[in-house]
Amino acid sequence: MAKYRCTVCNYIYDEDAEGVKFADLPHSYTCPVCGAPKSAFVPLDRKKKTEKAETTVAEKIIEQLVSFGVKHVFGIPGDSNLPLVNAIRKNDDIDFILVRHEETGAFMASAHGKITDKLGVCMSIAGPGATNMITGLMDAATDRSPVLALVGQIPEVYLGSEAFQEIDQIELFRPFSEYAETVARSNQAIKLTMMAAKYALKKLGLSVLSCPTDVLADTIDDSIIQPEKRLFKSEVVATDDEIKKAIELINGCKKPVVFGGWGSRHCGELLLKLAEKLKAPIATTSRAKGVIHETHELALGVLGSIGTKHAAKAIQKADLIIIIGSGFRQANLVPKGVKILQIDNDTTRIGKTFDVDVGLVGDAGLILQKLVPLVKEKTEDKKFLAEVKKMRAEHLEELEIEGKDLSIPINPGFVIQALRRNFNKDAIFTVDVGDHTYWFYKKFICEGQRTYLNANIASMGFALPAALVAKLEYPEKHVVCVTGDGGFAMLMADFTTAVREKLNIVVVLFNDGVLKNIKKELLRDDYPVFGVEFPNPNFAEFANSCGGFGIRVKDPKKLDEAFENALQSGKPALIEIISDPDKMAASTKRVN
């Protein structure tokens, strides 16, 4: 006897229970729950398992992911991905992290790729689940984070029939994916999973597998592919002749500046060796903030629109900029006539924004290993360095003054210096998009801390999901989510995920009741301030109601105590800071 499922409401017709075979029912039969016609029913294939049990396609996909070292899948379950959820349940080597919104799951996968350089995996159902992931997946695509999205799909037999929750997922994701395919047959599953992982890890970006639920539930006996047989290192290093050209350019300059990007994130010591040998100031992109200790006498902090004024001024006085691991799209900060040496593993990024005198294609670390020993030790340009050091000293003095500012409402600059005092030097900071982003990247001095942000797509909402992932990976470290009331409110429901998973992150929330960065843009362009102010809930009470620790701080004198109590609580904590809505950080523009 068999069972049949109504594809409209999922009612199950059981021949055993009803005593009548489904085929013998009259054509006029309708579903007793929703009234759908007999033609809307499909058979449920319940193959009996033998002693040598067959595994499902979903189980093989998950097994293959485990072989890549995947430990977590972030997402929301539903009808079209239940075989995958069940496969994760049955596998002891991988966990399913339930989130409140698919955007959170996608951001978590992207943040995982950024923090670990390993494959991040998220999952959704068909239809709205797929569309809800787009922003987080776009972050992976534009910030080049290795991510695989497993997207549930309606049964393959109904594709193209405008079925419930059907959308063309491949058409949706392909424009910003390195790889996007449908697992249309069970014998494709393992190969396509390998290909998707390969593209995400080696191209660095997004892969998408559209997974029809009937294919996921099918059985398969194939063995998984061993990653070491298909995934190979692909580091590239420039030739000796190209290195020689770079050395000649470097040795011929007097006032070089070293500029490290995301591609140099694993070679901070080499960056500093190069800078010290050249007596050159060194700046980083926002993504690379923390790669070097910014207490170093040559460190300028971040160069860019959210960077420091003295970094922008110093680069105007340079005769050579050595760009390492960055496309650096902000050509407005590059002075005319300056020579450029650019190093990147992607040849399309070299010379993408401005003219380059020498371009070296390859891995930043490998090229620096060859380059640094060959560079001649320079005699410092005393006038150049004196000006740079004077600007840097003025910047540090400004930070010291802000760190003592006890005005109410609280000065955002005071909060940034409080962060330095209260969290360990190996802490991880995940930073959301807003006016507070400028304050943090301009005024926080990294001394071993690492920072992560949603850099290229620049979407609010990234910091909380990223903090959850950072704490999963580094439970022993302080993990701080730096966010505003606008960004946090977008995905604040997933604070409950932190509570459920016992991830004792600290959320530092600037509450000023306004989208301050947009307010700043309105004022800049001579528009009235309109459409950017909102009433806020008591975020601290929200955190407490979720089972975490929450405290609202209005007096700057009580901020250090609040941080201490948050860390001692052992719970996910939220420090809601009532900050000054009128103190806005300026963006850095070209200084003539």
Identify whether residues 166 and 24 lie together within a single domain: no
Identify whether residues 286 and 328 lie together within a single domain: yes
| Of 286, 36, 291, the residue nearest 274 (C-alpha) | 291
Query: What local confidence, expressed as pLDDT, does residue 341 receive?
Result: 97
Identify whether residues 208 and 246 lie together within a single domain: no
Q: Per DSSP, which regions of 353-478 are E strands?
A: 358-361, 428-431, 450-453
What DSSP designation does 237 have? -
What number of other Cβ atoms are within 10 A of residue 353's Cβ? 17
Identify whether residues 244 and 380 lie together within a single domain: yes
| Residue 184 included in any domain | yes
| Residue 213 included in any domain | yes
Identify whether residues 433 and 571 lie together within a single domain: yes
Query: What local confidence, expressed as pLDDT, does residue 590 receive?
Result: 46
Identify whether residues 570 and 465 lie together within a single domain: yes
Per the listing, tokens 């190996």 go with 426
Query: What local confidence, expressed as pLDDT, does residue 569 receive?
Result: 97
Identify whether residues 529 and 565 lie together within a single domain: yes
| Residue 246 included in any domain | yes
Identify whether residues 423 and 330 lie together within a single domain: no
Token reading at 461: 């909402």
Which ranges constitute the DSSP H helices of 117-188?
A: 128-132, 134-142, 169-173
| Residue 84 included in any domain | yes
Q: Which CATH number do you get for residue 354? A: 3.40.50.1220
Query: What local confidence, expressed as pLDDT, does residue 393 receive?
Result: 94
| Residue 590 included in any domain | no
In degrees, rounded to 5, the angle at the alpha carbon of residue 12 between the alpha carbons of residues 9 and 16 is: 165
In angstroms, the Cα distances linking 553 to 174, 366, 410 are: 46, 48, 9
Question: Sheet holding 282-284: strands in order across?
Answer: 299-302, 282-284, 256-260, 320-324, 339-344, 358-361
Domain C-terminal end among 386, 419, 435: 386
Measure the CA–CA gap between 171 and 153, rounded to whole angstroms. Answer: 13
Q: Which CATH number do you get for residue 21? A: 2.20.28.10
Q: Per DSSP, which regions of 454-582 are E strands?
A: 479-484, 506-511, 549-553, 573-578
| Residue 367 included in any domain | yes
Identify whether residues 210 and 284 lie together within a single domain: no
Identify whether residues 147 and 196 lie together within a single domain: yes
Measure the CA–CA gap between 367 and 357, rounded to whole angstroms. Answer: 17
Q: What is the pLDDT along the chain (592 residues), one digit of tens a residue?
A: 899 988 778 899 999 999 999 999 999 999 999 898 898 888 886 554 444 458 999 999 999 999 999 999 999 999 999 999 999 999 999 999 999 999 999 999 999 999 999 999 999 999 999 999 999 999 999 999 999 999 999 888 777 767 777 788 999 999 999 999 999 999 999 999 999 999 999 999 999 999 999 999 999 999 999 999 998 887 889 999 999 999 999 999 999 999 999 999 999 999 999 999 999 999 999 999 999 999 999 999 999 889 999 999 989 999 999 999 998 877 777 888 899 999 999 999 999 888 999 999 999 999 999 999 999 999 989 999 999 999 999 999 999 999 999 999 999 999 999 999 999 999 999 999 999 999 999 999 999 999 999 999 999 999 999 999 999 999 999 999 999 999 999 999 999 999 999 999 999 999 999 999 999 999 999 999 999 999 999 999 999 999 999 999 999 999 999 999 999 999 999 999 999 999 998 876 544 4
Which DSSP helix (H) or strand (E) runs through 566? helix 559-569
Instruction: Report yes or no: 15 and 43 within 8 Å, Cβ to Cβ.
Output: no
Identify whether residues 354 and 477 lie together within a single domain: no
Structural domain tally of the chain? 4
| Residue 398 included in any domain | no
Q: Which CATH number do you get for residue 417? A: 3.40.50.970
Measure the CA–CA gap between 70 and 150, rounded to whole angstroms. Answer: 13
Domain C-terminal end among 185, 206, 229: 229
Query: What local confidence, expressed as pLDDT, does residue 175 receive?
Result: 97
Domain C-terminal end among 200, 229, 258: 229
Range of the domain at 277: 240-386
| Residue 583 included in any domain | no
Residue 188 DSSP SS3: helix
Query: What local confidence, expressed as pLDDT, does residue 253 receive?
Result: 95
Query: What local confidence, expressed as pLDDT, does residue 586 receive?
Result: 81
Query: What local confidence, expressed as pLDDT, does residue 51 receive?
Result: 42
Identify whether residues 444 and 509 lie together within a single domain: yes
